[in-house]
Amino acid sequence: MREKLLDLLLTNIIPYWSEKMIDHQNGGFYGRVSGEEKMFPLADKGAVLNARLLWFFSASYRFLSHEDVLLDFPDKTEQIEQAEIRCLQCATRAKRYLTDRFYDNTYGGVFWSVNYKGEPSATKKQFYALGFAIYGLSEFHRATGDLEALEYAKSLFFDIENHSYDPEANGYLEAKTREWKEIEDMRLSDKDENLQITMNTHLHILEPYTNLYRVWKNEELAERIRNLIDIFLNRILDKNTCHLGLFFDRNWQRHGNEVSYGHDIEASWLILEAALVLSDESLIERVSEATARIAIASLEGYQKDGSMIYELKKDGGTDRDRHWWVQAETLVGLLYLDRYHNYSNALNFASKTLGYITENLVDKTNGEWFWSVREDGSVNKADDKAGFWKCPYHNGRMCIESLELLR
């Protein structure tokens, strides 16, 4: 499994993003490639895509530069060292572009998108995007020691706390205008409900806060992480089903009964990771019990071929497509079940999931992964190969996390 994972990272994911996606003419990285591999050089560039690219190249550089990797794979020394150099170059490029083009020097925060020239195109402050900017910047500091990146990450942390956190609701609101005023449409994407509070944004504030705490042992930050964990276990988790609610109003009233299997299993390991980084044994014990239940409940969507279906819809039907990111998070979640929960057969399930990914989602001709495989087994090329939501974050992180867990 480790050899397959390293091969995916070195030959499928890193080359695609470090060679094909660099915008040499206008700076940064291109904003979109279709599922048919058509480049759109004039497409807008999203904050989430660019922040995730910063995280991915930084994390890949940090991982590949560790001496244990060379010791474990001596026959791949040259390939690893070349990828390491390329990842550092791309991480540095991504950091510069994020801070120069996306960071709002007037009001703070990051713009939702810029045009292909790097000029602001959508200036709203979606706190999900601020979270990923922290994730990328903190990882760049973790990998390189760059102090400027850490200062930007700290500044964004205070932006989220000052403008997203609602002390009355004890939760984080979705979005504001550029000037931090109330905004009518708070949706992260067209498919989301226009509500003040979502599980998804809370998860991707917890995740960067955890990474920031690795490099900045700040007591306020630690307290915020603890509070986010409590929000998940006491507000977002349905204790009857052990699934996570997706959409809530400002009073924490749940809207809809959808179940996202991918988010469930992703949250199961990210919440435990947060507790582990805080190194609080009593918290770890409490979180471990809850996250095991969440992960096991998510396996209601796990299929015999090793894949995970997308979601249980509000009308009771199921979306049985196999999305790229869901399979990636399923593999990591299964390895957490094996390592931290001693769940029977988790390692065998993980091996099947990796097999499903390599046989069905990996584009062996052009590189990267396809968006999804449909219920009938056909490959979905209608959705993007790269874009606002499609990037090397889920699949790249799957490789790095899984290689470390399996070691």
Answer for the pair 139, 58: CB distance below 8 angstroms, yes or no.
yes
Given this model, what pLDDT does residue 246 score? 96
Instruction: Render each residue's pLDDT in the chain as its tens digit; 407 residues.
Output: 999 999 999 999 999 999 999 999 999 999 999 999 999 999 999 999 999 999 999 999 999 999 999 999 999 999 999 999 999 999 999 999 999 999 999 999 999 999 999 999 999 999 999 999 999 999 999 999 999 999 999 999 999 999 999 999 999 999 999 999 999 988 888 777 888 999 999 999 999 999 999 999 999 999 999 999 999 999 999 999 999 999 999 999 999 999 999 999 999 999 999 999 999 999 999 999 999 999 999 999 999 999 999 999 988 899 999 999 999 999 999 999 999 999 999 999 999 999 999 999 999 999 999 999 999 999 999 999 999 999 999 999 999 999 999 99
CA-closest candidate to residue 130, choices 212, 194, 56, 195: 212
Close Cβ partners of 323 (under 8 Å, ≥ 6 residues apart): 262, 310, 371, 372
Q: Which two tokens stand for residue 238?
A: 């349905």
Torsion, Cα 382 386 387 390, to 10 degrees, reads 90
Residue 151 forms beta bridges with which residues? none
Q: How many domains does the chain have?
A: 1
Given this model, what pLDDT does residue 315 score? 85
**pTM confidence score:** 0.97
**Domain containing 277 — which CATH number?**
1.50.10.10
Using only the alpha carbons of the chain, give its radius of gyration.
20
Q: Return the residue matching tokens 């990051």.
A: 110
- Which structural domain range is residue 298 located in? 2-406
The rounded distance, in Å, linking the Cα atoms of 406 and 42 is 41
- Greatest alpha-carbon pair distance for the chain in Å reads 57
Q: Which two tokens stand for residue 239?
A: 């204790």
The rounded distance, in Å, linking the Cα atoms of 197 and 278 is 25
Answer for the pair 236, 169: CB distance below 8 angstroms, yes or no.
no
Given this model, what pLDDT does residue 366 score? 97
Given this model, what pLDDT does residue 362 score? 98
Question: Is the backbone of residue 134 left (phi > 0), alpha (psi -120 to 50) or beta?
Answer: alpha
Given this model, what pLDDT does residue 46 score? 98
Residue 45 forms beta bridges with which residues? 114
Helices 127-144, 47-64: crossing angle, 10 deg rounding: 20
